[in-house]
Structure 1
Protein backbone atom coordinates (compact mmCIF):
# COMPACT_ATOMS: atom_id res chain seq x y z
CA UNK A 1 0.00 0.00 0.00
CA UNK A 2 2.86 2.41 0.73
CA UNK A 3 3.84 2.51 -2.96
CA UNK A 4 0.31 3.52 -3.88
CA UNK A 5 0.52 6.51 -1.54
CA UNK A 6 3.54 7.75 -3.45
CA UNK A 7 1.66 7.10 -6.68
CA UNK A 8 -1.27 9.21 -5.46
CA UNK A 9 1.04 12.03 -4.43
CA UNK A 10 2.65 12.09 -7.85
CA UNK A 11 -0.71 11.83 -9.63
CA UNK A 12 -2.03 14.92 -7.82
CA UNK A 13 1.21 16.79 -8.54
CA UNK A 14 2.36 17.46 -4.98
CA UNK A 15 5.77 17.13 -3.42
CA UNK A 16 6.18 15.34 -0.09
CA UNK A 17 5.99 18.55 1.92
CA UNK A 18 2.71 19.69 0.31
CA UNK A 19 1.11 16.25 0.43
CA UNK A 20 2.12 15.67 4.05
CA UNK A 21 0.78 19.08 5.08
CA UNK A 22 -2.64 18.27 3.58
CA UNK A 23 -2.67 15.09 5.71
CA UNK A 24 -1.40 16.71 8.88
CA UNK A 25 1.88 14.79 8.74
CA UNK A 26 5.49 15.85 8.66
CA UNK A 27 7.46 15.39 5.45
CA UNK A 28 9.78 12.91 7.17
CA UNK A 29 6.84 10.79 8.35
CA UNK A 30 5.42 10.71 4.84
CA UNK A 31 8.81 9.77 3.41
CA UNK A 32 9.02 6.84 5.83
CA UNK A 33 5.49 5.74 4.91
CA UNK A 34 6.28 5.88 1.19
CA UNK A 35 9.23 3.51 1.59
CA UNK A 36 7.41 1.16 3.94
CA UNK A 37 9.35 2.01 7.10
CA UNK A 38 6.33 3.38 8.91
CA UNK A 39 2.77 2.15 8.95
CA UNK A 40 -0.34 4.24 8.98
CA UNK A 41 -3.83 3.54 10.20
CA UNK A 42 -7.37 3.61 8.94
CA UNK A 43 -7.63 7.27 9.92
CA UNK A 44 -4.98 8.21 7.36
CA UNK A 45 -6.46 5.92 4.71
CA UNK A 46 -9.83 7.63 5.13
CA UNK A 47 -8.19 11.07 5.09
CA UNK A 48 -6.26 10.35 1.89
CA UNK A 49 -9.40 9.03 0.20
CA UNK A 50 -11.45 12.02 1.29
CA UNK A 51 -8.86 14.70 0.60
CA UNK A 52 -7.80 13.43 -2.84
CA UNK A 53 -10.95 11.55 -3.99
CA UNK A 54 -9.11 8.24 -3.98
CA UNK A 55 -10.87 4.92 -4.29
CA UNK A 56 -10.35 3.24 -0.89
CA UNK A 57 -10.41 -0.24 -2.40
CA UNK A 58 -7.64 0.76 -4.81
CA UNK A 59 -5.56 2.27 -2.02
CA UNK A 60 -5.86 -0.81 0.17
CA UNK A 61 -5.61 -3.53 -2.50
CA UNK A 62 -4.63 -2.01 -5.83
CA UNK A 63 -7.91 -3.19 -7.40
CA UNK A 64 -10.00 -0.81 -9.48
CA UNK A 65 -9.34 2.78 -10.44
CA UNK A 66 -7.16 5.12 -8.39
CA UNK A 67 -9.70 7.93 -8.24
CA UNK A 68 -13.40 7.99 -7.55
CA UNK A 69 -15.29 9.80 -10.27
CA UNK A 70 -18.75 11.26 -10.63
CA UNK A 71 -20.85 11.72 -13.73
CA UNK A 72 -19.68 15.34 -13.91
CA UNK A 73 -15.94 14.63 -13.65
CA UNK A 74 -15.47 13.36 -17.20
CA UNK A 75 -17.58 16.15 -18.69
CA UNK A 76 -15.65 18.80 -16.77
CA UNK A 77 -12.30 17.30 -17.77
CA UNK A 78 -13.33 17.14 -21.43
CA UNK A 79 -14.30 20.82 -21.39
CA UNK A 80 -11.21 21.84 -19.40
CA UNK A 81 -8.86 20.07 -21.82
CA UNK A 82 -10.29 22.07 -24.73
CA UNK A 83 -9.41 25.38 -23.08
CA UNK A 84 -6.18 27.24 -23.77
CA UNK A 85 -3.61 27.07 -20.93
CA UNK A 86 -4.17 30.67 -19.83
CA UNK A 87 -7.92 30.05 -19.71
CA UNK A 88 -7.36 26.86 -17.71
CA UNK A 89 -5.34 28.86 -15.19
CA UNK A 90 -8.12 31.45 -14.93
CA UNK A 91 -10.73 28.74 -14.45
CA UNK A 92 -8.73 27.18 -11.61
CA UNK A 93 -8.47 30.60 -9.93
CA UNK A 94 -12.21 31.15 -10.27
CA UNK A 95 -12.96 27.66 -8.92
CA UNK A 96 -10.80 28.31 -5.86
CA UNK A 97 -12.62 31.59 -5.24
CA UNK A 98 -15.95 29.76 -5.52
CA UNK A 99 -14.79 27.26 -2.92
CA UNK A 100 -13.86 30.06 -0.55
CA UNK A 101 -17.23 31.74 -1.08
CA UNK A 102 -19.04 28.45 -0.54
CA UNK A 103 -17.14 27.84 2.70
CA UNK A 104 -18.04 31.30 3.97
CA UNK A 105 -21.71 30.83 3.08
CA UNK A 106 -21.81 27.44 4.80
CA UNK A 107 -20.24 28.92 7.96
CA UNK A 108 -23.04 31.50 8.14
CA UNK A 109 -25.72 28.80 8.20
Structure 2
Protein backbone atom coordinates (compact mmCIF):
# COMPACT_ATOMS: atom_id res chain seq x y z
CA UNK A 1 0.00 0.00 0.00
CA UNK A 2 1.40 3.36 -1.06
CA UNK A 3 1.56 5.95 1.68
CA UNK A 4 0.25 9.33 0.61
CA UNK A 5 2.69 12.17 1.20
CA UNK A 6 2.09 15.69 2.46
CA UNK A 7 2.57 16.96 -1.08
CA UNK A 8 0.05 14.43 -2.32
CA UNK A 9 -2.50 15.61 0.23
CA UNK A 10 -1.97 19.24 -0.81
CA UNK A 11 -2.53 18.20 -4.43
CA UNK A 12 -5.66 16.27 -3.40
CA UNK A 13 -7.11 19.39 -1.76
CA UNK A 14 -6.39 21.35 -4.94
CA UNK A 15 -7.97 18.69 -7.17
CA UNK A 16 -11.05 18.30 -4.93
CA UNK A 17 -11.60 22.02 -5.30
CA UNK A 18 -11.19 21.71 -9.08
CA UNK A 19 -8.42 24.30 -9.20
CA UNK A 20 -5.31 24.58 -11.30
CA UNK A 21 -1.96 25.32 -9.67
CA UNK A 22 -2.07 29.01 -10.55
CA UNK A 23 -5.46 29.64 -8.92
CA UNK A 24 -4.73 27.45 -5.89
CA UNK A 25 -1.33 29.03 -5.25
CA UNK A 26 -2.84 32.51 -5.55
CA UNK A 27 -5.46 31.68 -2.88
CA UNK A 28 -2.79 30.25 -0.59
CA UNK A 29 -0.42 33.19 -1.15
CA UNK A 30 2.50 31.36 -2.77
CA UNK A 31 3.90 31.13 -6.28
CA UNK A 32 2.84 28.43 -8.71
CA UNK A 33 6.45 27.19 -8.76
CA UNK A 34 6.43 26.82 -4.97
CA UNK A 35 3.16 24.90 -5.10
CA UNK A 36 4.56 22.60 -7.76
CA UNK A 37 7.59 21.83 -5.59
CA UNK A 38 5.37 21.25 -2.53
CA UNK A 39 3.15 18.83 -4.45
CA UNK A 40 6.25 16.95 -5.60
CA UNK A 41 7.58 16.79 -2.01
CA UNK A 42 10.74 18.66 -2.95
CA UNK A 43 10.43 20.50 0.34
CA UNK A 44 8.02 20.85 3.25
CA UNK A 45 5.64 23.80 3.57
CA UNK A 46 6.08 26.44 6.23
CA UNK A 47 3.62 26.78 9.08
CA UNK A 48 2.21 29.88 7.34
CA UNK A 49 1.48 27.87 4.18
CA UNK A 50 -0.19 25.10 6.20
CA UNK A 51 -2.35 27.66 8.04
CA UNK A 52 -3.31 29.29 4.76
CA UNK A 53 -4.34 25.96 3.18
CA UNK A 54 -6.34 24.97 6.26
CA UNK A 55 -8.05 28.38 6.42
CA UNK A 56 -8.77 28.82 2.72
CA UNK A 57 -9.99 25.29 2.04
CA UNK A 58 -11.38 24.19 5.44
CA UNK A 59 -8.94 21.30 5.43
CA UNK A 60 -8.39 19.26 8.56
CA UNK A 61 -4.90 20.12 9.83
CA UNK A 62 -4.32 16.64 11.29
CA UNK A 63 -5.23 14.95 8.00
CA UNK A 64 -3.13 17.42 6.04
CA UNK A 65 -0.04 16.87 8.19
CA UNK A 66 -0.40 13.20 9.15
CA UNK A 67 -2.81 11.63 6.66
CA UNK A 68 -5.71 9.36 7.49
CA UNK A 69 -5.84 5.66 8.31
CA UNK A 70 -8.50 4.81 5.73
CA UNK A 71 -7.78 5.34 2.04
CA UNK A 72 -11.52 5.37 1.26
CA UNK A 73 -12.28 8.32 3.52
CA UNK A 74 -11.55 12.02 3.27
CA UNK A 75 -11.52 14.51 6.09
CA UNK A 76 -13.65 17.60 5.66
CA UNK A 77 -13.56 20.00 8.58
CA UNK A 78 -13.49 17.78 11.64
CA UNK A 79 -15.51 14.93 10.14
CA UNK A 80 -14.23 11.91 8.30
CA UNK A 81 -16.50 11.06 5.38
CA UNK A 82 -16.52 8.46 2.63
CA UNK A 83 -16.01 9.19 -1.08
CA UNK A 84 -19.74 9.60 -1.91
CA UNK A 85 -20.30 11.93 1.03
CA UNK A 86 -17.29 14.06 0.09
CA UNK A 87 -18.47 14.32 -3.52
CA UNK A 88 -21.96 15.27 -2.34
CA UNK A 89 -20.62 17.99 -0.05
CA UNK A 90 -18.39 19.45 -2.74
CA UNK A 91 -21.27 19.57 -5.23
CA UNK A 92 -23.71 20.88 -2.59
CA UNK A 93 -21.42 23.83 -1.82
CA UNK A 94 -21.64 24.95 -5.46
CA UNK A 95 -25.44 25.33 -5.35
CA UNK A 96 -27.26 28.58 -4.58
CA UNK A 97 -28.76 28.83 -1.09
CA UNK A 98 -32.34 28.21 -2.20
CA UNK A 99 -31.25 25.13 -4.18
CA UNK A 100 -29.41 23.84 -1.11
CA UNK A 101 -32.59 24.29 0.92
CA UNK A 102 -34.53 22.35 -1.71
CA UNK A 103 -32.03 19.47 -1.52
CA UNK A 104 -32.23 19.44 2.28
CA UNK A 105 -36.05 19.34 2.14
CA UNK A 106 -35.88 16.47 -0.36
CA UNK A 107 -33.55 14.48 1.89
CA UNK A 108 -35.83 15.07 4.88
CA UNK A 109 -38.80 13.85 2.85
CA UNK A 110 -36.89 10.71 1.81
CA UNK A 111 -35.91 10.01 5.42
CA UNK A 112 -39.53 10.21 6.57
CA UNK A 113 -40.30 7.26 4.30
CA UNK A 114 -37.96 5.06 6.31
What TM-score results when the alignment is normalised by the length of structure 2? 0.59
Which structure 2 segments of 5+ residues have no match?
A: 1-5, 80-88, 98-114
Structure with more strand by fraction: 2
Q: Aligned partners of 1:63, 1:39: CA distance in 2, in Å?
A: 18
**What's the CA shift string for 1:35-89, capped at 9, x where partnerless?**
011321111111111110000000011127422068xxxxxx5xx49xxx9xx3x
CA 1:69–1:60 in structure 2 vs 1: closer, same or farther (change >3 Å)?
A: closer
The 2-side partners of 1:69 and 1:39 are apart by 23
More helix by share: 1
Runs of 4+, deviation exceeding 3 Å: none
- Count of aligned positions: 79
1:59 aligns with 2:87: no
RMSD: 2.8
TM-score (norm 1): 0.62
Matching residue within 16, 22, 46 for 2:21: 16
Gaps of 5+ in 1: 71-76, 93-109
